Amino acid sequence: MSLPYNKNLIASARRLRANMTRQEKHLWYDFLSGYSPRFQRQKTISNFIVDFYCHEAKLVIELDGGQHYSENGLGYDAQRTAILESFGLSVLRVTNYDVDNNFAEACALIDSVIIERIAK
């Protein structure tokens, strides 16, 4: 099944790939870029650009900084997650703090979620 996407977001996704945050770069270059199954970064899905996406596991990984924990951020993320889940995807949120301070544990969590999702 092909996921819906907004073609108007493709240029923005390219800009985001070129200007990843420090945590996105760390997770991408030090773990996800060489991971199998394959991940995509700044993938357009519906009217969103997700941080990382694994088609085989139907998994979205979102890195969350401080703005995600405000009242507005929490509400927006809940709506966004519900829409992404309506496409049969799972959304895993990893904090920037964990990427910075608990990298091995964050990678182990991602790995375990992927293994579980692929086994289904």
CATH number, domain containing residue 58: 3.40.960.10
10-residue mean pLDDT profile of the chain (120 residues): values are 90 95 97 97 96 97 72 79 96 96 98 93
Domain for residue 1, yes or no? no
Closest CA to 109 of 63, 73, 78, 67: 63
Q: For residue 77, what pLDDT is reported?
A: 85
Residue type, 11: A
Strands 48-54 and 40-45: antiparallel
**Residue 101: domain span:** 7-119
Task: State the total domains in the chain.
Answer: 1
Domain for residue 12, yes or no? yes
Q: For residue 106, what pLDDT is reported?
A: 97
Within a 10 A sphere around the Cβ of 48, how many other Cβ atoms?
16
For the chain, the three-class secondary structure string (H helix, E strand, C coil) is CCCCECHHHHHHHHHHHHCCCHHHHHHHHHCHHHCCCCCEEEEEEECEEEEEEECCCCEEEEEECHHHHCHHHHHHHHHHHHHHHCCCCEEEEEEHHHHHHCHHHHHHHHHHHHHHHHHC
Structure tokens at 25: 């770069």
Q: For residue 1, what pLDDT is reported?
A: 63
Q: For residue 68, what pLDDT is reported?
A: 46
Domain for residue 83, yes or no? yes
Domain for residue 81, yes or no? yes
Q: For residue 120, what pLDDT is reported?
A: 72
Domain for residue 2, yes or no? no
